[in-house]
Amino acid sequence: MKYRTIKPSWIIYSYLFICLLFFSYQASPVSAQLEAVAGYRDFSQYETRLEKLTMSPWATMKSLGKTREGRDIWLLTLSKDEEATKPALFVLGNVKASSLVGRELCFMVADELLNQVEEEKSIQQLLTDHTIYFVPCPSPDASEAFFQKPYQAKVENTRPSDTDRDGAIDEDPAEDLNQDGWITQMRVSEASGEWMSHPDDVRVLIKANPGKDEEGKFTLYIEGKDNDQDEAWNEDGSGGTNFNQNFTFAYPYFDQYAGPHQVSEPETRAIIDFLYKHPEVVACFSFAPEDNLMHPWKADRNAEKNRIKKTLLTADVDYFDWIAKKYQKVQPLKKAPSASSGEGSFVRWAYFHFGRWSFASPAWWITLSEVKEEKKEDASEEEQEQEDKNSHEEKEKKVEESESEDSKKEERKDPSLEKRGKEDRDRLKWLKENGIDGFVSWEAIQHPDFPGQKVEVGGFKTFLIENPPIDQLEELVVPHVNFLKELLQLFPDMKVNQIKIDSLGKGVTKIEVEVLNQGYLPTMSEMGRINGIPYPLQIELDLPKDTLWITGHRRQELRVLKGKGGSRTLTWLVRFPDQSPEEITVKVFGPSIHPVSKTQKLNSEKK
């Protein structure tokens, strides 16, 4: 066999060429873009960013536990002295794992607070008097789907599961049939379908209404094949349990992503364990779909009579409403989407089972550029509603008059005033306004499970409509920082207002103490009072050990005080030993307030 001789010069050139290719690949930023939306950072980058924040003397981080895949659930603490027990605020990031925007905004808010604390004495005092706990990413395993192709918006972790109860685990996942790197939807043309095209935009599907003589044309599935041949498509994918459905309140038994039982996941357990060990937490704020700031919860007096409380209590509603109005003033985004009902969610657990003030808002949502004329500022809501109704009726009448029989058979050029599918149409408008390729046009494919039928793959790239370009978050940072600062300033603020001491004769002394709450919020929510989870405040009299307590006790529970001047007066009858003390000290304390005290001379009204 003859071998071709290669000259040394060619060997050198070949070697250099290979090296050049290698180093150019290494040097090129991984901007083959592994993330679904540019600018968002994966878990390792997120950890690095957290570590940089702890270079500030005001910040520390620690792990609350590890996920099934070994990722840490990081806690970032902002405080002057993290070991001191001070009233605290707990902030949770992307409660919905696929909304990475919650993690990013949570981190950016913490970063901005640390920037401000270096220059503003008011922030220094705020973090001296309070603690803010941040958990930017409570479900990191599920969130990593954002960085793994094919991209599929997942809310569940990677717990193996038999969703379809057929004895096989994770055997029927979604698949990227058109090889575009995204898991979207597929629609199958069939007479039994429930879905039809929107009259104004064929990309959008709406459910057919037989009451309007409409016929469905499509059946919708997640993109993929029926791998286990059970005539159910992609019903048993990889994983798992949704962090935000795994809490104890209104737990959705048997839901696909609720988990085998309540608090079954290390992520959920880590958060609950931490909060129960930290009774100083007064309130929780979450970036979550269970929005009660843009869409405040409503009280229900009739439901309130039930033993198990499932609606906001009347005694708490005014506080929730007022804080919601404050948030709405600082939030630059308007017209928030409808809130999730929240079965098994963190937000509702924090109020109903943990007994804390629990506030939530999505980190971000789609808002369209305003193209309508400004509404009259001096018009009442009723007048404006009537004006809108009249305008709608006029438009509808004109459309009806202008349509001929022929034009009805064709696709309309003018808007049909069809309200169904509005959310999807708004999404398409937003994508167009921002120049984002976030919709896969419906494309016919050959599908082995549907021989002889038309099958098309397409739909929204879900990550792109849940997570905006990273630069759109900048306008949200300072408003949320300001809201959290104001929320801390609304915490209960106790004062021993007055001490009265009267001698009743025969060695008996009457001590009367008035305690005042100067803060806006009550010392605990009514829900907390009912479920008994928050620690009650304590009041203690510093008197000689051999004092005889005729009524009352040296240390006793202080019942709930309303906000904005709520007060309570307590009375003791005591008999001192041989000699009365020169003074009496009253202390009020509890993990969720700053301890206060007042000393009174026995023979004078005030010190």
Tens of pLDDT along 375-395? Answer: 444 444 455 445 544 544 454
Q: What pLDDT is stored for residue 551 in this prediction?
A: 96
Q: What is the mean pLDDT of residues 562-587?
A: 92
* Res. 1: pLDDT tops 50: no
What percentage of the chain carries pLDDT values higher than 70?
82
Residues 468, 207 contacting (CB under 8 angstroms): no
Q: Is the dihedral of CA 433, 434, 437, 440 positive or negative?
A: negative
| Per-residue confidence band for 298, with pLDDT thresholds at 50, 70 and 90 | very high
Q: What are phi and psi of 325, to 5 degrees?
A: -65, -40
Q: Model confidence at 398, in pLDDT bands (50, 70, 90)?
A: very low
CA angle at 220 for the pair 217 and 221, rounded to the nearest 5°: 150
- pLDDT value, residue 520: 97
- Judged by average pLDDT, the poorest of 148-152, 217-221, 350-354, 392-396 is 392-396
- The pLDDT value given to residue 366: 93
Contact (CB, 8 A) for 455 and 188? yes
**Residue 170: per-residue pLDDT:** 57
Q: Which of 15-19, 97-101, 530-534, 548-552 has the least mean pLDDT? A: 15-19
Instruction: Quote the pLDDT of residue 578.
Output: 76
pTM > 0.75: yes or no: yes
Which pLDDT belongs to residue 8?
Answer: 42
Q: DSSP states of 466-528 as a string? A: HS--GGGGHHHHHHHHHHHHHHHHTS--EEEEEEEEEEEETTEEEEEEEEEE-SSS-SS-HHH
The DSSP symbol for 562 reads -
Q: How far is CA 194 from CA 50, 220, 341, 393, 421, in A?
A: 48, 8, 25, 29, 14
Cβ neighbors of 447 (< 8 A, separation 6 or more) are: 177, 186, 188, 225, 453, 455
The enclosing H or E element of 444 equals strand 439-445
pLDDT at 3 over 70: no
Q: Which of 310, 300, 388, 303 is nearest to 343 (CA)?
A: 310
89 and 283 in contact (C-beta within 8 Å)? yes
- What's CA 546's distance to the chain center, in Å? 53
Percent of the chain's residues with pLDDT above 90: 70
Whether the predicted pLDDT of 22 surpasses 50: no
Per residue in 30-89, pLDDT tens? Answer: 333 457 788 899 999 999 999 999 999 999 999 999 999 999 999 999 999 877 789 999
- What is the C-alpha separation between 176 and 184, in angstroms, rounded? 8
Mean pLDDT of the residues in the chain: 86
Quote the pLDDT of residue 28.
33
CB 447 within 8 Å of CB 455: yes
State the average pLDDT over residues 307-332. Answer: 96
pLDDT for the residue numbered 379: 44
Task: Give per-residue pLDDT as tens, 83-115.
Answer: 778 999 999 999 999 999 999 999 999 999 999
Query: Is the pLDDT assigned to residue 262 strictly greater than 70?
Result: yes
The full 3-state SS of 328-365, as one line of letters, equals HHHCCCCCCCCCCCCCCCHHHHHHHCCCCEEEEECCCC
Asked if residue 20 has pLDDT above 80, the reply is no
Here the tokens at position 508 are 């008996």
Helices assigned H by DSSP within 130-190:
140-143
User: What value does the mean pLDDT take over residues 268-291?
Assistant: 97
Q: How many other CB atoms are found less than 10 A from the CB of residue 518? A: 15
Q: What mean pLDDT comes out for the span 566-580?
A: 91
pLDDT per position as a tens digit, 360-371: 999 999 988 654
pLDDT of 161 = 73
3-state percent helix, strand, coil for the chain, nearest multiple of 5: 30, 20, 50
- Is pLDDT at 5 greater than 90 in this prediction? no
- Would the CA dihedral through 220, 221, 224, 226 be positive or negative? negative
Residue 496: phi and psi, rounded to 5, are -80, 105
Q: Per residue in 318-327, is it b (16+ CB within 10 Å) or e — as a string? A: ebbeebbeeb
Average pLDDT over residues 409-429: 77
Structural domains present in the chain: 1-161+239-364+467-489 (3.40.630.10), 163-237+415-462 (no CATH), 494-601 (2.60.40.10)
Q: What is the mean pLDDT of residues 597-604?
A: 83
The answer, yes or no, to whether residue 208 has pLDDT greater than 50, is yes
Contact yes or no for 364/290 (Cβ under 8 A)? no
Model confidence pLDDT, tens digit, residues 477-535:
999 999 999 999 999 999 999 999 999 988 899 999 999 999 999 999 999 999 999 99
- Per-residue pLDDT at 10 exceeds 70: no
Mean per-residue pLDDT, 438-460 = 94
